Amino acid sequence: MNNVQLSNILHIQEASKQDKLVIFVGAGVSTNSGVPMWGKLIESLKQDLPETLRQETDDLKVAQLYKDSRGYKEYMEKIKESLMCGKISPNPIHYAILDLKPCHIITTNYDDLIEQAIMQKYQQYYVVKRDTDLPYLQYQNTLIKMHGDFEADNIVLTENDYYNYSNNFPLIRSFVQSLFASKLILFIGFSFNDMNLKIILNDVGNILKENMQRVYFLTDKEVDFIQRTYYENKGINIVSLPIHDVECYLEEQSIKINNTGLSLKPGIALYKQLSLIKNLKKEKDLINYICGYIDSCKDEIRVLGDGLKYIIPKEEQLHWNYHSSGLQIFSPYIDNIKKTTKNFFWKKEICNPI
């Protein structure tokens, strides 16, 4: 991992400490709970449309055509069924997001997985699902469902939803834009080709221009110089953490993780990335490093301790027990060694035996 990426991680850590970290959560996080990605959702809509529309490449148009031809009720039932509404639970990534202590979480997902994780970790985030929620903020931290919510019945998916977004969500839009001017924004669970990512950054960039802070985009992909320059010109810092590098640092710094519940490789990689971002230390803490190393070898140490009985002469009485302060040994042989080695003369005796 190069110095640029280490610097990116340290900037994210510092933003978390200063209560300035905002995490933007994309569909890739919910996928690890069984929610289909955008492409699969659109394909499921195409299956119920005429054959002539199966090759349509405009995803927003497909959603609009489905809604117009089937009606709102059937449209919503189809979306909820396709996205497993009410049938899914949070995964370890949701908890890892909360462990970074973001002051605000923004998501384009319609599900309630983040809300479930917040409740299970007993944290306080005021959930904003519609514009009318903003004037009644009860907590300093917020979860912004910027593309609506199933419960609020206001999801943003069709062509008209996106075109009319600024009119339907003016307060949420303004609030999110203000965060881009004052906080560190970290995008996770998005792909480089994610339509929502492009729309959001273009929308915010056109308004804030030079006042927009650079945002951070987390990926496990290696990004070449040309692409990196392309995204940097759009105000995006690429936090490229390939899984091999991440695993090396986790092992080197004795950072233990538990990714039980994740089966998809991208999800496991993302969870490890978030764990590294949270726990990475710029300089090694020697005490923690030694303790971590000893803990990893505790089984071997225990065997070596028991092996002392093969070193001490059989005729010597010996018994020992494990104690919180260490291995306690009771033996005349050991006691004699202790007395002998109390001063420096013992070295002469050992080095120059009679």
pLDDT at 238: 93
Residue 29 has pLDDT above 90, yes or no: yes
Considering only 12-26, 101-115, 327-341, which range has the smallest mean pLDDT? 327-341
pLDDT at 211: 67
Band of residue 22 on the pLDDT scale cut at 50, 70, 90: very high
**Structural domain ending residue among the three candidates 285, 308, 326:** 285
Residues in contact with 140: Cβ distance below 8 Å, sequence separation at least 6, in sequence order: 103
pLDDT at 254: 87
Band of residue 335 on the pLDDT scale cut at 50, 70, 90: confident
Task: Give the structural domain span for 346.
Answer: 297-351
Mean pLDDT of 70-74: 95
Residue 205 has pLDDT above 90, yes or no: no
110 and 245 share one domain: yes
Residues in contact with 40: Cβ distance below 8 Å, sequence separation at least 6, in sequence order: 82
Rg (CA), the chain: 28
pLDDT at 292: 61
Domain-located, residue 44: no
Tokens representing 130?
A: 């519609």
**Structural domain ending residue among the three candidates 239, 260, 285:** 285
pLDDT at 318: 59
Q: Which of 42, 115, 133, 135 is nearest to 82 (CA)?
A: 42
Domain-located, residue 291: no
Residue with tokens 């990426």: 5
Domain-located, residue 208: yes
177 and 248 share one domain: yes
pLDDT in tens, 212-264: 778 999 999 988 889 888 888 888 899 999 999 999 999 988 888 888 889 99
pLDDT in tens, 35-46: 999 889 999 999
- Contact 129/90 with Cβ under 8 angstroms? no
Residue 324 has pLDDT above 80, yes or no: no
Band of residue 199 on the pLDDT scale cut at 50, 70, 90: confident
**Residue type at position 54:** R
Tell me the sheet residues that pair with 238: 217
Mean pLDDT of 140-158: 95
Residues in contact with 164: Cβ distance below 8 Å, sequence separation at least 6, in sequence order: none
Is the torsion defined by CA of 156, 159, 163, 168 positive or negative? negative
How many domains is the chain built from? 2
267 and 326 share one domain: no
Band of residue 296 on the pLDDT scale cut at 50, 70, 90: low
pLDDT in tens, 105-130: 999 999 999 999 999 999 999 999 99
134 and 7 share one domain: yes
pLDDT at 3: 83
pLDDT at 227: 87
Residue 303 has pLDDT above 80, yes or no: no
Tokens representing 243?
A: 């899984």
Domain-located, residue 69: no
153 and 210 share one domain: yes
- Local structure of 110: helix, strand or coil: coil
CATH of residue 269's domain is 3.40.50.1220
344 and 199 share one domain: no
- H helical segments located in the chain: 3-17, 27-31, 38-46, 59-70, 72-82, 92-99, 113-120, 159-163, 165-168, 170-182, 195-208, 225-232, 243-252, 265-279, 286-296, 298-306, 332-340, 345-351
345 and 242 share one domain: no
**Residue type at position 341:** T
Indicate the average pLDDT of the chain: 85
Residues in contact with 334: Cβ distance below 8 Å, sequence separation at least 6, in sequence order: 312, 318
**Structural domain ending residue among the three candidates 229, 251, 285:** 285
Q: Which of 189, 194, 201 is nearest to 234 (CA)?
A: 201
212 and 317 share one domain: no
235 and 125 share one domain: yes
pTM of the model: 0.77
Between these two residues, 197 and 184, which has the higher pLDDT value? 184
Residue 287 has pLDDT above 90, yes or no: no
Domain-located, residue 49: no
Between these two residues, 305 and 250, which has the higher pLDDT value? 250
pLDDT in tens, 255-285: 888 888 899 999 999 999 999 999 998 765 5
Count of other CB atoms within 10 angstroms of residue 107 = 23
**CB-hemisphere CA count at 13 Å for 207?**
15
Mean pLDDT of 74-89: 93
> CA 264, CA 268: separation in Å to the nearest integer?
6
